Amino acid sequence: MSYLVVTDAAKQFGPSFMALNGVSLSVERGEFFTLLGPSGCGKTTLLRAIAGFNDLTSGEITLDGSNLRVVPPHQRDIGMVFQDYAVFPHLSVFDNVAFGLKPRKVPAAQIKTRVTQALEAVRLGAMAERLPAAMSGGQQQRIGLARAMVINPRLLLMDEPLSNLDAKLRIELREEIRDIQKQVDIATIYVTHDQEEALAISDRICVMNSGKIEQIGTPQEIYGNPQTRFVAEFVGTLNIFQPGAALDAMLGKLGLAHAGAATWAVRPEHLDLAGPDSDGNGSATLPGTVSKYTYLGREAHVQVETPAGRLVVQLPNPGMAATREAGEAVSVLVPRTAPMSFSANGARMGG
């Protein structure tokens, strides 16, 4: 049996609103598990149910085989890292980290070594005696991390711990979190609405949407093989083909057909551009005109108006020669493996 198991979790707010609606998932020992979804989809609600800060309306949560819902939050032994850091401003960095060891009756000498170790791990060893108030957001979150880790909790929960930091620090700190988690080997549930962060950091990702699970899988599965249209659009970007003769002709040429497919879509990075008269060389071609060219350094986005709708083509490592002018005639190359189809209710077909 898995380490943490959530079965059919439901949480109702008010008379009819369901913040969680039949959520089931399981997390393995030592796993880095991420809840990913747009704001308001119920991630925090689920996390707080596991932490014990709000109870579920119905459903089960077990940790290591025993029912967690009957345990009061302060006896659950679950470490938590907060979006707003929740560092205690009246305690020094050292005392913040030592705070959770006191109720565990750890001897003073051991407190000292464990706290020092934890602070070293988050690279705050030199700041132990300082008060956190004047420290930067990144440093405060490091305190929060050390404080949650040092108690060797059975589970570590992090609710958007990096979303208040600036972009560069976010990337730096997420790598650190990932490394530390692997070292201490504590099962971790990490909440984020940032798909790139989720892909970079997780062993497995659970994509949520309005209180329900869309898909659970490794980053490769989530990105490369999305099981719903929602996942495909939320993780990465998606071109949706406009239905009509041009789309049918293209699918015919590629020999693709899915009975009942309501939507066909393709990722920008799976498309390529060629001259207006290209035969495609195995790919289908869609003639079109460039309407916008956006240079982003590592890549460029070319927006092309085609008979099958407006498509964005992503070109890697664009040199000077790759620049396209608006109005230029081009062909968009669609390889056979690129298009994905979804049924009317958003489920992936033939994936």
Partner 1 sequence: MAMPRFNFWTVVMILTWVLLFVLLFIPVGSVLISSLYDQSGNFTFANYLKFLGEPRFRQAFLNTLVVGFGGLFGALLLGSIMAFCVSRFAIRGGRFVSLLAILALVSPPFIGAYSWIVLFGAGGVVRGFLRDLGISMPPIYGVGGILIVFSLKFYPYVYLMVSGALSNVNRSLEEAAEGLGLTPLQRTFRISFPMVFPALTASGLLALIHAIADFGTPRLLGRGYNVLATEAFTLYSAEVGSNMSMATTISVVLIVVSMVFVLLQRYMSRRNVYHGNMINKPARIQLKGWRNVLAHFAVYFIGLCGALPVIISVIYSFRKTSGPVFQQGFALQSYERILFNLGDVVRNSLTFSFVAVALIVMIGTVVGVLVARRTNLNTALLDGAFMVPYVMPGIVIGIAFIAAFNTGPIVLTGTAAIIILSIFIRRLPYTVRTTASSLRQISPSMEEAAISLGYSPFQAFLRITVPLIVPGIIAGGMLSFVTAINELSSSLVLYVGSTMTMPVRIYLLILDGDFGVAAALSTILLLLSGCAVYIAFRFMGRNEQALL
Ligand X SMILES: Nc1ncnc2c1ncn2[C@@H]1O[C@H](COP(=O)(O)OP(=O)(O)O)[C@@H](O)[C@H]1O
Q: Does 34 bind Mg ion (CB under 5 A)?
A: no
Give the three-class secondary structure for 192: strand
Q: Which segment (45-53, 161-169, 216-224, 287-295) binds partner 1 by CB under 8 A?
A: 45-53
Q: Does 44 bind Mg ion (CB under 5 A)?
A: yes
Q: Does 90 bind partner 1 (CB under 8 A)?
A: yes
CB–CB of 172/161 below 8 Å? no
Q: Which segment (53-61, 165-173, 178-186, 237-245) binds partner 1 by CB under 8 A?
A: 53-61
Q: Does 297 bind partner 1 (CB under 8 A)?
A: no
Applying CB under 8 A, among 7, 12, 21, 54 the residue interacting with partner 1 is 54
Q: Does 84 bind partner 1 (CB under 8 A)?
A: yes
Q: Does 137 bind partner 1 (CB under 8 A)?
A: no
Considering the complex, state which of residue 187 and residue 312 has its C-beta at the smaller distance from partner 1. Answer: 187
As given in the structure block, the two tokens for residue 34 are 């991420």
CB–CB of 62/70 below 8 Å? no
Q: Does 39 bind ligand X (CB under 6 A)?
A: yes
Angle at which helix 167-184 crosses helix 137-149, to 10 degrees, equals 10
Q: Cβ of 276: how many Cβ atoms within 10 Å?
A: 12
Q: Cβ of 193: how many Cβ atoms within 10 Å?
A: 18
Q: Does 19 bind ligand X (CB under 6 A)?
A: yes
Q: Does 67 bind partner 1 (CB under 8 A)?
A: no
Q: What gap in Å lies between CA 148 and CA 157, rounded to an integer?
A: 9
CB–CB of 307/341 below 8 Å? no
Q: What gap in Å lies between CA 261 and CA 343, rounded to an integer?
A: 5
Q: With the CA atoms of 82, 83, 89 and 91 taken in that order, what torsion angle do they form, in degrees rounded to the nearest 10? A: 30
- Minimal distance, residue 209 CB to ligand X, in Å: 10
Q: Does 44 bind ligand X (CB under 6 A)?
A: yes
Applying CB under 8 A, among 16, 66, 74, 345 the residue interacting with partner 1 is 74
Contacts of 213 (CB under 8 A, 6+ apart): 23, 24, 25, 206, 207
Q: What one-character-per-residue DSSP string does 225-239 give?
A: S-SBHHHHHHSS--E
Q: Which segment (37-45, 85-93, 246-254, 340-348) binds ligand X by CB under 6 A?
A: 37-45
Considering only residues 154 to 173 of the shown chain, the ones binding partner 1 according to CB under 8 A are: 157
- Write out 55-107 in H/E/C secondary structure: CCCEEEEEECCEECCCCCHHHCCEEEECCCCCCCCCCCHHHHHHCCCCCCCCC
19's contact among Mg ion, partner 1, ligand X, none, with CB below 5 to 8 A by partner kind, is ligand X
Which residue lies nearest Mg ion, judged by its C-beta?
Answer: 44
216's contact among Mg ion, ligand X, partner 1, none, with CB below 5 to 8 A by partner kind, is none
Applying CB under 8 A, among 62, 82, 258, 322 the residue interacting with partner 1 is 82
Where do contacts with partner 1 occur on this chain (CB under 8 A)? Answer: 51-55, 72-80, 82-84, 86, 88-90, 99-100, 103-104, 144, 147-148, 151, 157
